[in-house]
Amino acid sequence: MKRENRAILAALTLLTASGGSAGIDSSELRIRPPVTSGSATAAWPDRGPAAVRRADGAIRSRLRVLQEAMGARRGPNGVVRTRYFLVGGDMSQEERTRLGTLLDGQVRKLVEHFGGGIEHQPFPSRIGLFILGSRDRFELVEAAHFGCYAEQDLAARLHAEDGAFLLIADASARRGRLDHQTSRAIAAAWLHGLHSPRPVPAWFEQGFMTATAWMQAPAGAGFGRREAIESVRSGRTLEDLLQYESIWSDDPHNEARAGLLVERLLEQPEALQAWLVSTKQGGDWREEFRECFGSDPEELARHAARWYRVND
């Protein structure tokens, strides 16, 4: 897994753009707006039930178009609705329902971790999930309908169209990789939808996506987690990750190392949410970090390294 995060975040930054498909940044180094300027950022507008229904309808129509174009066995009307997803593709209806329900549980777990209830809607509409049963069909959809190249280790990619999310997934991918990438995509959508479109530091963004994906995995089975812990125990520190504020160079090992940092922050969900909202309101992320957590980010990095030298 090397480049799906770039595609996810490139798509997410276009959520507020006018209609059409989101473009995908193919550069090796992603550069984003600065997060330390202190300028205020307007919150996302409230979306009423009618607006959500319209957005759901647009996603449903898009899934039907994809199914018709791909000649899906179940026909153009086989879109399954779950709490947070609309699921199409060439898998059976039972399998799509099972997968949508499973991902609903992941979203609910993330929402509840930060104090949200069952009525909370963290996305602008249901996420459209289009799942393909073979690698060839996954690559064809990415190329023909989104103009994207599917790298060998890519199992899922999130796109933004007309202000809504569409997640394309390869059901034939190795299970651990597919689960990890879909979980990261869900976390990215949640993070982007929180309060405003203002970005958060890249190290946190990547670490949050990874750490929340680990929350869905069996104990000790988080993708890349064991290797990251071993690197800490071999003497590598974590403080260097804090330099990645507005840039991020794709590196699965660094994603996992950043995940270790954010795991420690997830133990303080109230302080973490307060920091995220204040940063997305326009506050300087370092100043707000000291205010919400009572210590510097560098101390967090040192604490995390000490923790993982003796804990896992």
E-state strands within the chain:
29-31, 80-81, 85-89, 127-132, 156-161, 164-170, 247-249
pLDDT band at 8 (very low <50, low <70, confident <90, very high): very low
Determine the pLDDT at residue 4.
45
Q: Is the pLDDT of residue 11 over 80?
A: no
Contact between 233 and 226 under an 8 Å Cβ cutoff? The reply is no
- When pLDDT is cut at 50, 70 and 90, the band that residue 33 belongs to is low
Q: How many residues does the chain have?
A: 312
Res. 10 pLDDT band, cuts 50 70 90: very low
Q: What digits encode the pLDDT tens for the residues 204-252?
A: 999 999 999 999 888 778 899 999 999 999 999 999 999 999 888 778 8
| 185-210 pLDDT, tens digit each | 999 888 888 888 888 999 999 999 99
pLDDT of 83 reads 92
- Average model confidence (pLDDT) for the chain? 83
Predicted model pTM: 0.84
Which range is most confident: 58-62, 195-199, 302-306? 302-306
Please report, for the chain, the start and end positions of each structural domain, with discontinuous segments joined by +. 4-16+46-193, 202-310
CATH architecture type of domain 4-16+46-193: 3-Layer(aba) Sandwich (3.40)
pLDDT over threshold 50, residue 9:
no
Residue-level pLDDT at 76: 45
Mean pLDDT (whole number) for 65-85: 77
H runs (alpha helix) in 28-174: 49-70, 93-113, 135-146
